[in-house]
Each structure stands twice: as structure tokens, then as C-alpha cells.
Structure 1
């Protein structure tokens, strides 16, 4: 079942204040993206889910939201990174926009974490090839990026030191 075009249009109209809105087919529904970052899933049954993380999930829980679930042969599966939108998009656009801001922030943090992990992998690969200076530069940049986002850079990327020969 495809997502309701009127619902997608309503959400897009509200969320356009956050950036350029695009949609793509996902999970027999639609994904709503702001500037290329997914912030929402709209299912064919009209359910709307917004992206959450550890920082934003409590607000959704307090509002009575529940995680995105779907049926599998082995039982229901939950995606805890998407929770139901606790307000009706047609009744309270300002509140939808507020939740949209939270979802966009969560999506941005997820992108930063992915970038940090990817750069750390590259940096570790460079160390093994004798490119320590370049690896340290990447590690430093990744660390600064992570710390500005509240991430633990050392836990993500290691020390950046050259491994000892033994």
C-alpha cells in the first residue's frame, strides 16, 4: 500500500521550513528527506515516524510514541531509530515542525557519526601503509568534528599513533 499523497504533501509543506524536501519510496511507503537527510518514514497505513536518537527519543517516549515496527515471519521487528509522530499533521503543524527539527538534528548527528567512523577506518588503513602523517591529520580532523558534536572521538577512532613493530 502506497503512502497517502495528501499526507506526504502536508508534511512536506510543514517541513519545508527546515530545508529542501524530497521523498523516496521506502518500506511500502515514503521516506521524507531534508537536504538529503532522512527524517521521516510515512507508511501506507498513514502512520508517520520521525528519526530519533538517544538525545531526542525521551521527548517522543514522554509524548506516548512507539517505535517503528514491521511484521516478519519470525515475529515483529522494531526499528528504534524511528518513532511515531505523536501529533496529527493536519491538526498541529507547529508541533510537527518542532518534532521535525528534532528529527533533523538526530539525522545530522547520525551522519556525523557515520562520517567519523568512515574517516577513522580510512585513517587506520593509512597507518598500516606507512602514511602516518596523513592518518594523524585525518584523525585530528575527525576528533575535532566528533568533539564539536559531543561524540567521544577517542572511542571512535583510537589514538592515531603508529603501531609498534614487535
Structure 2
């Protein structure tokens, strides 16, 4: 994945928080202040969507990331972004905020992690 693309996204995100990228699944995960909000995979930028935001992505002509599973195609909850979002910090921040909100809703639905028992 292009370090230049990651740096560009970090520049676009500067007013939204700290955007970092970490290698994962043959691409990179995009984290905004430590929260997974997107992925960079196959030279594409995909942001987290959920039931509340999916229609906005669809209306903008975006598409979900789909990969071939062992039996059938698997559709992920990460959607491409409009091309103009990669050219404008103001537009990028709108889409990034939608992804952040979706990721926060997902995190709120997860049960709390149980503490590990101390070794005896």
C-alpha cells in the first residue's frame, strides 16, 4: 500500500483527529484516534458503514468491499468513498465522521471484555 496515500489521508484527516494505518488482511486498517474506521486494500479506500449510514454511501455511488471467500463472495461493512472525498479535506471529513459514528455504534454493541484471571 502506498505510503503516499496514507500520508495524504492523514493530511486530509488532520482536523478530525490522529489517523494511523496498521498492516492487516493484505492491506492496512485505518484508525482514527485508535478506533478502526476504514481499510486500504487493493489500492482502494473503504470506510466503515452500518445500517444508519449505508444509504448515504449508496446514494453517492459507493460500493462495499467484496472478497471471494472459500464458498462464496463475502461483503464487508466497509464502503468505497466518493472520488471527490480524496481531493477535499472538507468532503473527506464528512465521510470520515460517518465511518467514526458507525464504528462507535458497533463498539457500543459489543459486550465488555472479561478480565483474564491471574495465573496461579
* TM-score of the two chains, using structure 1 as the length reference: 0.62
The answer to whether the Cα contact below 8 Å between 1:41 and 1:50 also exists between their aligned partners in 2 is yes
User: Using the alignment, how far apart are the partners of 1:111 and 1:101 within structure 2?
Assistant: 15
What residue ranges of structure 1 are gaps of 5+ in the alignment?
Answer: 122-166
User: Using the alignment, how far apart are the partners of 2:19 and 2:69 within structure 1?
Assistant: 31
The answer to whether the Cα contact below 8 Å between 1:10 and 1:89 also exists between their aligned partners in 2 is no
Match of residue 162 from structure 1: none
What residue ranges of structure 2 are gaps of 5+ in the alignment?
Answer: 115-120
Task: Spell out, residue by residue over 1:72-125, the C-alpha distance to the aligned partner (whole angstroms, 9 max, x if none).
Answer: 34232111x2111122454233211110011111111111111xx338x9xxxx
Counterpart selection for 2:89 from 75, 90, 93: 93
The answer to whether the Cα contact below 8 Å between 2:28 and 2:39 also exists between their aligned partners in 1 is yes
1:58 is the counterpart of 2:55: yes
Considering Cα pairs closer than 8 Å and 6+ residues apart, tell me whether 1 or 2 has the greater RCO: 2
Matches within 5 A, 1:60-79: 60-79=57-76
SS of alignment partner, residue 64 of structure 1: coil
Counterpart selection for 1:36 from 25, 34, 49: 34
**Bigger share in helix:** 1
**Structure with larger Rg:** 1
Match of residue 78 from structure 2: 82
Q: How many pairs were matched up?
A: 114
Match of residue 117 from structure 2: none
SS of alignment partner, residue 62 of structure 2: coil
Runs of 4+ aligned residues of structure 1 deviating over 4 Å after TM superposition are none
Match of residue 43 from structure 2: 46
* TM-score of the two chains, using structure 2 as the length reference: 0.84
